[in-house]
Chains A and B, each alone.
Chain A
């Protein structure tokens, strides 16, 4: 697990229901896209939108259980840890973006400039 830890704010990026069940949406940041997933059981996860294999956009993959299949080469990535599963286990890791769900809204960990 490789979670972002140096954040100081939560940014509201939308409602849970903005993401289709078993789907994902992108949130652009200056450091690249974040992929926000909603699994079949309604849980929400966020990862950097990059497969540890060849950088494929995970937000475009098929979400199943608590995993996503990368659209480029079908690596399965565990949404809670960002780690590849099965035969690809141990080959790198996608950073996990901490998030909170409050009142149906999704808040992503972010870093605000000092005002």
Chain B
């Protein structure tokens, strides 16, 4: 009976066979039926023994928010009503393009005139030891969901999901929703890193925590552990073991190309198709995740719909050409709104618009290129996702709506046709300007005219408008401008930390502590930074503020430090470095000097110089030699002198009562004691100390940040000297009777400066700003002094460590080695 078409109403029907009963196969058939209901005699093969269902809705089924019946797209009535033969549960074993026949399990042979391959993709299974254990599943079909649901029935069960992409997160959320302790293990540092930037990724991590999903980032899976043939845990490369009762691998998909390949079709990553979805055989087409179009194999549903429309046009004599798809992503986790489309990484000629609303947990980032939307990342409020996506796809120039674009469609279209000034002018007096404090336009204009306000700060002080989150600042400024006309002066007030924020240092410091902000993304979100990852000014400042506020919790961000602090040496004009070992109180020994001399010889160090801080500087060390130089200095008992640090540098001393005929106290001993207790501490700017044994002041203590002048009756503690850009003598902070009290007072004032100083603000400037009297009152109050000292001592538990020794031990060794030497001997 081969090659004889069925006759229907006098027209010969062509035989259409579809391999794949999933989203793509059925949608292709639907699209064809829409256009030409009687043209084909249709047969569909499906490997799963059930009707066609909406695979992307498996996540809500897992989460128990939907049932299988809810996600069935086409029930049996659809197949029979359209005269479609469904071969469910029968996998196709071969395609014979020469004979135009499909062969399936059980010896079934079905001839075709037109064949559509829509057999999708397979989930990737990582080849980890233990991957074949019971309880290790992927997240692809209903069987996987059933296995996960069964595992969740045990009380207090634990689940591990490998893969922090869309599917992995939805799987973890579903398992958590079913009562399991779910942990997502992700190789990268950011969840959904292909769709989200770091800021949105951070918010997502936090939001998932609220939903009971823990996240382990930057985690390399090493081995799946089993017990009696069943999974019981996952071991990471760093040795951590995450116990689990079920392990889900959600690490990506691989297009199914095997069937096409054995049939002799061209297959790369997927089955290669042209713009008409045609494979290398003119009678065979491919759509969906198995297909590769212009080098791309898609894994999302929108491109599948686009492909199916084109294919249906082509198969019903229409004109159709698939041009590839622009992608957008939405995460399906209830209560977590995430949307991403296009490019979020900017580039040449691109411009970022960032909006953060800390109160609502909202982050929006739009990327504009040549005045058009090139990408969007939305977190916490994704209602405008489709609008941005449409703007992006249409390529519309958005320069005219740029000012309001980030506030969404409603705001933008509500104001369209108006320039921002006239838009504000057109607002009614009852229109709310500041949402945080419920201030409307009328109140602001009244306050301005009634009380003679002229600056933004005045308005903030009187009305509270824009005094909280600050996002309405431009609107308030426009109201000011409109009301005052020429009398308007631009914003004055505390100087912002940098261009990434309108907040000054004081507010930033205070809120880090008050709101327990413990990471850089947390600070940037809460304080509504206007850039995605800050700049070279604010990042070092935030890093310091976090270190100071949370010494035990915050992990130092190396990439937010200037090069000198990152490599524990001082960069010189030619790119070499200088190395200064610590000499406690300026005291050294023959053994140390011998070791230094040996290092100089061994590493051919061109210049050796005595510094003003009573130490020895080795200049011209090559970067790659640094760890070896440190290793040799360490071996002789020397540690980093932190000559590069915004932190404690040197403690200069004179010889004091031990040798000097005028010495009143053991100034050398006190200097050594201070340095040994305080070294390694970070501060807003560099801190230099000196201790002089008598008022002759040979250690020059009265031009140091903190100085001590020993006298017969005790110790004068001096503060706020400088001998650099500015020359400034110290002022007396306090006088104490014993050496112990001197140490307490000095550590306490250091801590006060650490907690109050603005980044890069030297002690003398801090003292000018806050006033010496206030500082003195705290240091002379025994309780406050004690509390400050204790906080300093606690912090020192974490930072009184030699960074050189850590590098010698191999930490961050990539910093000191070239990435590759492969181009070294090739002319480049």
Q: Which residues of A approach B to under 8 Å, CB–CB?
A: 1, 7, 11-14, 18-23, 25-31, 33-34, 36, 39-43, 54-57, 60-67, 69, 71-72, 74, 76, 78, 80-81, 108-113
CB of B827 within 8 A of CB of A41, answer: no
CB of B344 within 8 A of CB of A41, answer: yes
Q: Answer whether residue B575 sits at the interface, using C-beta atoms and an 8 A cutoff.
A: yes
Chain B's closest residue to A31 (CB) is B828
Chain B residues with CB under 8 Å of A64's CB are 531, 533-536, 539
Most buried by A among B198, B347, B566: B347
Q: Which of B532, B539, B561 contacts A41 (CB 8 A)?
A: B532
CB of A11 within 8 A of CB of B826, answer: yes
Other contacts beyond A41-B533, A57-B571, A112-B826: 8, CB < 8 A: A26-B819, A27-B823, A30-B828, A62-B536, A62-B562, A65-B532, A71-B563, A80-B348
A27-B820, A29-B823, A62-B536 given; A54·B573 CB < 8 A: yes
Task: Give Cα A81 to B350, complex, Å.
Answer: 12
Q: Which residues between 187 and 207 of chain B lie within 8 Å of chain A, taking CB atoms? A: 189-190, 193, 197-198
Chain B residues with CB under 8 Å of A61's CB are 536, 563
Q: Answer whether residue B540 sits at the interface, using C-beta atoms and an 8 A cutoff.
A: yes
Task: Give Cα A81 to B822, complex, Å.
Answer: 25
CB of B197 within 8 A of CB of A40, answer: yes
Q: Answer whether residue B821 sits at the interface, using C-beta atoms and an 8 A cutoff.
A: yes
Chain B residues with CB under 8 Å of A55's CB are 575
CB of B819 within 8 A of CB of A25, answer: yes
Q: Which of A18, A34, A40, A78 contacts B198 (CB 8 A)?
A: A40
CB of A113 within 8 A of CB of B560, answer: no
Task: Give Cα A40 to B824, complex, Å.
Answer: 28
CB of B823 within 8 A of CB of A110, answer: yes
Chain B's closest residue to A41 (CB) is B345
CB of A66 within 8 A of CB of B559, answer: no
Task: Give Cα A31 to B827, complex, Å.
Answer: 7
CB of A66 within 8 A of CB of B533, answer: no
Q: Answer whether residue B558 sits at the interface, using C-beta atoms and an 8 A cutoff.
A: yes
Q: Answer whether residue B814 sits at the interface, using C-beta atoms and an 8 A cutoff.
A: yes
Most buried by B among A13, A18, A21, A55: A21
CB of B559 within 8 A of CB of A21, answer: yes
Q: Answer whether residue B346 sits at the interface, using C-beta atoms and an 8 A cutoff.
A: yes
Q: Which of B193, B819, B826 contacts A42 (CB 8 A)?
A: B193
Q: Which residues of B approach A to under 8 Å, CB–CB?
A: 189-190, 193, 197-198, 344-348, 350, 352, 531-536, 539-540, 558-564, 566-567, 571, 573, 575, 814, 818-828
CB of B559 within 8 A of CB of A20, answer: yes
Task: Give Cα A42 to B197, complex, Å.
Answer: 8
A21-B189, A76-B536, A81-B348 given; A62·B819 CB < 8 A: no
CB of B819 within 8 A of CB of A18, answer: yes
Chain B residues with CB under 8 Å of A26's CB are 818-819
Most buried by B among A11, A12, A109: A11
Chain B's closest residue to A63 (CB) is B559
A64 to chain B, nearest CB (A): 5
Chain B's closest residue to A71 (CB) is B563
Task: Give Cα A108 to B558, complex, Å.
Answer: 26
Chain A residues with CB under 8 Å of B532's CB are 40-41, 65
Chain A residues with CB under 8 Å of B531's CB are 64-65
Task: Give Cα A11 to B462, complex, Å.
Answer: 63
Task: Give Cα A57 to B820, complex, Å.
Answer: 17
CB of A28 within 8 A of CB of B823, answer: yes
A20-B814, A64-B534 given; A72·B823 CB < 8 A: no
Chain A residues with CB under 8 Å of B190's CB are 42
CB of A29 within 8 A of CB of B828, answer: yes
Chain A residues with CB under 8 Å of B347's CB are 43, 66, 80
A3 to chain B, nearest CB (A): 11
A69 to chain B, nearest CB (A): 4
Task: Give Cα A28 to B9, complex, Å.
Answer: 76
CB of A19 within 8 A of CB of B819, answer: yes
CB of B822 within 8 A of CB of A25, answer: no
A41-B344, A41-B345 given; A34·B533 CB < 8 A: no
Q: Which of A29, A56, A78, A109 contacts B575 (CB 8 A)?
A: A56
Most buried by B among A39, A54, A81: A39
CB of A62 within 8 A of CB of B826, answer: no
Most buried by B among A30, A62, A110: A62
A11 to chain B, nearest CB (A): 5
